[in-house]
């Protein structure tokens, strides 16, 4: 190539060299323009660039396609998603079923039907008084909520003991914890009034009272009125009681707040105080040392009569007590607290129990079917001491009840009974304010309901 170049004429050499320089200059200019157009300078105009100086620019490398694809989602979101999934995986899968208690069911039978082991039952039974309540109170129709964990073991047991309270047993490392969940109850005041035309029970039903309310009303006045012997046509009662609600839903009546009972023109009034006891409007306790009637009677066959003919012998013999005719097996209660001084059997009295109440009072219960106390036992008012029967010289099942004061027989219907402790002195002002309000409600209610029935 060098030998050929030397053979070219001088003019040709100059022409070729000039043409090469022109081509080279064009190529260099094109490269500079491309470099300047590829990148922009922040906040810098081309006119501000210094003339004749070359600017060094850093060109960022192109992102790797694979790296870009794998980092599309922010790392924080990826981390949270993995953590959430991990927590969810750690949560045990729980399954709850509702079981209705069947006739003759027990907690053991229910556990067996639902594949819960005897060992689990043992742990439940040892978890405290709440578990004992479940075991002892289960009855047909009750509902148990049983919750299983992922291993199909008992995780939780829920048993509603009322519309308000539910017992919960919760599994722990050693067995079960227990607690009672109590729902908030809202109350409002309601009223009822009735005249007795046939029976107290029928009057209560006609007035819209429940069986429980009727019995509670009788219990409130049971120290003053014998509901077997003393009631007459034309007697009346007036009641203020609670209505209970949970989350706006009516769940049934609550306590009797105040009541008035007119028996043979005698007015008896009672007000419930915050200590749970009932008092007269004057602050005296409704509770007395003795109940007027010691038996849940069906009907009364004979009243107090000192000239009564004996039903077996036909002779005039003083009937020194009251006969309460009732079915065999009807519970008989102690009319007052005291000590059993006799409990035995004789041909005339059959099975009998005598109770001494302090120094002055004695009560006797004859012709019992069974006796549940023995001599020397201490009993409380209302405690079951036996059942109605027909033992001894009798014509049918009944309880013969006698009341003695200082050894002398007195009519249980009319004998004056010792009173219990009145409202405390420091509570009297507060009680009288409440009693005044209740008395006003009773009167307003009575006038309103009488007006509606006329």
- List 188's β-bridge partners, or say none: 243
The total number of structural domains in the chain stands at 3
Name the domain boundary from 164, 182, 200: 182
Cross-strand partners of 193: 238
Cα dihedral 393, 395, 399, 405 sign? negative
Query: What are phi and psi for residue 444, nearest 5 degrees?
Result: -60, -45
Q: Answer yes or no: do 451 and 379 share one domain.
A: no
End-to-end CA distance of the chain: 143
Q: What is the pLDDT of residue 91?
A: 55
Instruction: Tell me whether residue 89 is in a domain.
Output: no
Question: Are 306 and 235 within 8 A, CB to CB?
Answer: no
CATH number of domain containing 328: 2.70.70.10
Helix, coil or strand: residue 155: strand
Q: What is the mean pLDDT of each run of 10 residues along the chain (454 residues)?
A: 60 64 60 48 45 49 45 44 48 84 91 91 88 88 92 91 90 88 92 90 91 92 83 92 93 94 94 93 91 68 48 53 86 94 96 95 96 96 94 90 94 83 90 92 83 70
Q: Specify whether 196 is located in the same domain as 342.
A: no
pLDDT in the model for residue 70: 42
- Structural domain boundaries, residue 307: 299-410
Predicted TM-score (pTM) of this structure: 0.63
Q: pLDDT tens for residues 171-218?
A: 988 889 989 999 999 999 999 999 999 888 889 999 999 999 998 999
Domain contains 251:
yes
Look at residue 68 in the predicted model and tell me its pLDDT: 43
pLDDT digits (tens, 9 = 90+) for 142-173: 999 999 998 889 999 999 988 899 999 999 88
Same domain? For 171 and 202 the reply is: no
- CA gap 56, 319 in Å, rounded: 133
Quick one: 398 and 303 in the same domain?
yes
DSSP string of 334-356, one letter each residue: -SS-EEEEEEEEETTTEEEEEEE
Asked whether residue 222 falls in the same domain as residue 239, the answer is yes
- CATH number, domain containing residue 176: 3.10.450.350
Quick check: is 325 in a domain?
A: yes
* pLDDT computed for residue 8 by the predictor: 58
> What is the pLDDT, as a whole number, of residue 69?
42
Which one of 182, 217, 234 terminates a domain? 182
pLDDT at 221: 93
Query: Which helix (H) or strand (E) covers residue 177, if one does?
Result: strand 176-182
Query: Which of these three, 158, 182, 206, is where a domain ends?
Result: 182
pLDDT of residue 448: 81
């Amino acid at each position: 190539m060098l030998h050929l170049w030397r053979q070219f004429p001088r003019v040709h050499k100059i022409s070729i060299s000039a043409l090469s320089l022109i081509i080279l200059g064009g190529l260099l200019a094109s490269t500079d323009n491309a470099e300047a157009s590829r990148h922009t300078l922040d906040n810098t105009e081309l006119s501000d660039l210094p003339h004749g100086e070359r600017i060094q620019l850093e060109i960022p490398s192109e992102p790797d396609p694979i790296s870009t694809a794998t980092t599309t989602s922010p790392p924080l979101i990826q981390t949270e998603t993995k953590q959430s999934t991990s927590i969810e995986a750690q949560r045990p899968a729980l399954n709850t079923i509702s079981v209705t208690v069947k006739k003759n069911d027990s907690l053991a039978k229910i556990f067996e039907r639902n594949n819960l082991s005897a060992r689990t039952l043992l742990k439940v039974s040892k978890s405290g008084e709440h578990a004992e309540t479940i075991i002892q109170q289960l009855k047909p129709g009750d509902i148990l909520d049983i919750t299983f964990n992922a291993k199909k073991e008992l995780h939780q047991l829920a048993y509603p003991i009322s519309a308000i309270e539910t017992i919960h047993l919760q599994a722990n490392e050693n067995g079960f914890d227990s607690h009672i969940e109590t729902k908030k109850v809202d109350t409002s005041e309601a009223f009822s009034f009735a005249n007795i035309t046939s029976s107290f029970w029928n009057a209560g039903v006609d007035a819209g009272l429940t069986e429980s309310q009727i019995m509670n009303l009788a219990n409130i006045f049971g120290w003053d009125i014998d509901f077997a012997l003393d009631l007459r046509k034309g007697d009346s009662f007036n009641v203020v009681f609670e209505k209970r609600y949970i989350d706006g839903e009516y769940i049934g009546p609550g306590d009797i707040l105040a009541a008035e009972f007119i028996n043979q023109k005698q007015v008896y009034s009672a007000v419930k105080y915050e200590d749970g006891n009932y008092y007269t409007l004057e602050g005296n306790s409704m509770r007395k040392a003795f109940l007027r009637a010691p038996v849940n009677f069906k009907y009364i066959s004979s009243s107090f009569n000192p000239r009564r003919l004996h039903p077996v012998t036909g002779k005039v013999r003083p009937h020194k007590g009251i006969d309460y005719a009732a079915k065999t097996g009807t519970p008989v209660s102690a009319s007052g607290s005291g000590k059993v001084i006799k409990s035995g059997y004789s041909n005339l009295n059959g099975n009998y129990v005598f109770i001494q109440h302090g120094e002055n009072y004695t009560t006797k219960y004859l012709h019992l079917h069974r006796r549940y106390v023995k001599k020397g036992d201490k009993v409380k008012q209302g405690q079951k001491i036996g059942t109605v029967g027909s033992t001894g010289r009798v014509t049918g099942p009944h309880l013969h009840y006698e009341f003695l004061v200082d050894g002398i027989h007195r009519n249980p219907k009319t004998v004056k009974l010792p009173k219990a402790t009145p409202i405390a002195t420091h509570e009297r002002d507060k009680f009288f304010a409440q009693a005044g309000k209740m008395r006003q409600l009773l009167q307003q209610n009575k006038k309103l309901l009488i007006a509606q029935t006329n």
